[in-house]
Amino acid sequence: MMKYEGIKYELVDTRDDVPTIVILLGGRKIPIHSRFHPSREAASMMEYFNPDKYNALIVLGVGLGYHLLPLKDKLDTYHTIVLIDAVAGIKDEIGQNSLTSFLASSEKIKFIEAGNPEEIEEFLQKELDFSIISGIHVIEHPVSVRSLDFYYNPARDAINKVINRKAGSSAAKRAFGNLYFRNVMKNLAGLGSCRPVSGIFGKFSGYGGLIVTSGPTLERLLPAIGRERRNFFIISVDSAAPVLVRNGITPDFIVSVDPQPYVHEHLSGINTEGVVRVLSLSSSPLAHSGGTVFMSLNSHPVSQLISQAFPGAIGSIDSLTGSVAGDALCLAFKLGLEPLCLAGFDFSFPEYKIYSRNTSYQERYSKFFGGRFLPIETQNLNYIMKSSRGFRFSGKFSRRAFMQYRESMEGFIGKCGIRGLMNINLSGISINGAADCLFEDFLKSCSAGGIPGRDGIINDAVAGADTIGSSIDMQVILGLLGDRKIFSELVNSSMEKVSERKREKLLMMAGGK
């Protein structure tokens, strides 16, 4: 990975008897601090340090740290401090500075020197704990950021990406922590009869896979998918399943990881017998009815406990993208399917539509809000304009949340090194790492003339995967959950502000005493 080690600098004496740092860039000499009295920068930044409100601090642009002198008396009140600078070795220079050496010697302060955006993102992902952080403040050293914008602009984007992801996870924990935990407790009762998702990994190598989600452009692909489905396997997210089934197409796999009960609405009223369902331990228990269930572990603390007690026994399709579509792609990749292609991944509102017809979302919207004088097309447009707030990307109406979702998908694709991924992009927004194509292009890459013994391949893969109860001892899991100390740690990691009464009720669900 690229390092910014090419940045040269020199130290120059000043009237304060401490040096200033001068960046040597393109034949220019750029002083990062005053050439005369660099220590005076402390006063200019004093108002930026407010640990009572923000107990986490990230600084873009450190130089020799004169603007950070006010931190000396506030270190104990911060939980996390991260200093990011473009110059490799800047911490050593600070360590020799009579005024700012405390920055280099403090155990509370972490440095990122000349790290590229990926390294910054990875470091902050591990370092920032939003269950402890009450607020986070990102401050920029104006001269550093302005002079070396080619470094600090991507660094800023990496910081924003992590904060948005972490804040979303923290918000989800506050909003759904109790629901996640209760689902886990209910699903544990039937865990032993489920099958481990790892049991089907690699069993579909050499066959094409189509990952389907419920974007509006899916509608236009349905005739071709139905006509040619014998040539590939279909992995559907739960919301796209009714679109497929009501158009005579039965998916091979349905992925459902949402904890909320309304996911049952996607699958109610359609025949999914024989379809392989892949769920997470925190999925809604209502998603378990019908079809063979394969279980995947995720980042939930109870899932992690099971993973530590029985490493590799169940497996995971958790893509860490925060979306069921990302997990569906992860499943397809781990099944060994190749080539892989995306359908309905629009990341926008193409043709002024919200979802494909026959999704539970669109049907509910039509039923409650459609009418003679205000048809659903008008309602869709009103929703789009309100939801997007006029936001456009590549000239298409979208939402900032869609762009974050797209970025997380791109990160997953790059991290896994998924090669040859295609995206049937009819009128949506492209995704890096997936080549735009037509359905015909994907079909040409699949097995010509259909997959011989297609149904038998699925049946053999399912039959070859023993139940979870045959490979792990459920009594061991229940015994760990029955331990009050372990259970309390799990509860504290799973949700916020748990009353003692609620804690006791959850403990009883887990079989604790």
Report the CATH number that the domain containing residue 149 is assigned in CATH: 3.40.50
Distance CA 475, CA 265 (A): 33
Q: CB burial class (10 A; 0-12, 13-18, 19+) of residue 286? A: middle
Give the pLDDT score at 381.
Answer: 52
Where residue 141 falls (left for φ over 0; alpha for ψ -120 to 50; beta otherwise) is: beta
| Two structure tokens written together for 498 | 């748990």
448 and 481 in one domain? Answer: no
Give the pLDDT score at 300.
Answer: 83
Query: For residue 513, what are the domain limits?
Result: 474-513
Q: Which residue has the tokens 């003339």?
A: 449
Q: CB burial class (10 A; 0-12, 13-18, 19+) of residue 255? A: buried
Distance CA 281, CA 277 (A): 13
Distance CA 402, CA 379 (A): 20
464 and 478 in one domain? Answer: no
**Is residue 252, in this structure, part of any structural domain at all?**
yes
DSSP-derived 3-state class of residue 382:
helix
384 and 292 in one domain? Answer: yes
Cα–Cα–Cα angle for 484, 259, 261, rounded to 5 degrees: 120
The total of structural domains in the chain comes to 3
| The model's pTM | 0.68
482 and 449 in one domain? Answer: no
Which residues of the chain have a pLDDT value below 50?
A: 1-3, 364-378, 388, 512-513
127 and 263 in one domain? Answer: no
Give the pLDDT score at 254.
Answer: 94
**Is residue 225, in this structure, part of any structural domain at all?**
yes
DSSP state of 275: P
**Is residue 109, in this structure, part of any structural domain at all?**
yes
Give the pLDDT score at 371.
Answer: 47
Q: Which residue has the tokens 């109860």?
A: 469
412 and 305 in one domain? Answer: yes
Give the pLDDT score at 170.
Answer: 60
Distance CA 464, CA 495 (A): 37
Distance CA 283, CA 293 (A): 12
**Is residue 3, in this structure, part of any structural domain at all?**
no
349 and 385 in one domain? Answer: yes
140 and 224 in one domain? Answer: no
**Is residue 31, in this structure, part of any structural domain at all?**
no
The DSSP H or E segment spanning 430 is none
Give the pLDDT score at 52.
Answer: 85
Distance CA 60, CA 341 (A): 39
- Main-chain dihedrals φ then ψ at residue 401, nearest 5 degrees: -65, -35
Distance CA 363, CA 357 (A): 7
129 and 237 in one domain? Answer: no
Give the pLDDT score at 290.
Answer: 63
Q: How far is CA 389 from the centre of its chain?
A: 24
DSSP-derived 3-state class of residue 424:
strand
68 and 145 in one domain? Answer: yes
492 and 452 in one domain? Answer: no
**Is residue 172, in this structure, part of any structural domain at all?**
no
**How many C-beta neighbours within 10 Å does residue 341 have?**
27
The DSSP H or E segment spanning 504 is helix 500-509
**Is residue 135, in this structure, part of any structural domain at all?**
yes
Distance CA 497, CA 284 (A): 23
436 and 483 in one domain? Answer: no
**Is residue 373, in this structure, part of any structural domain at all?**
yes
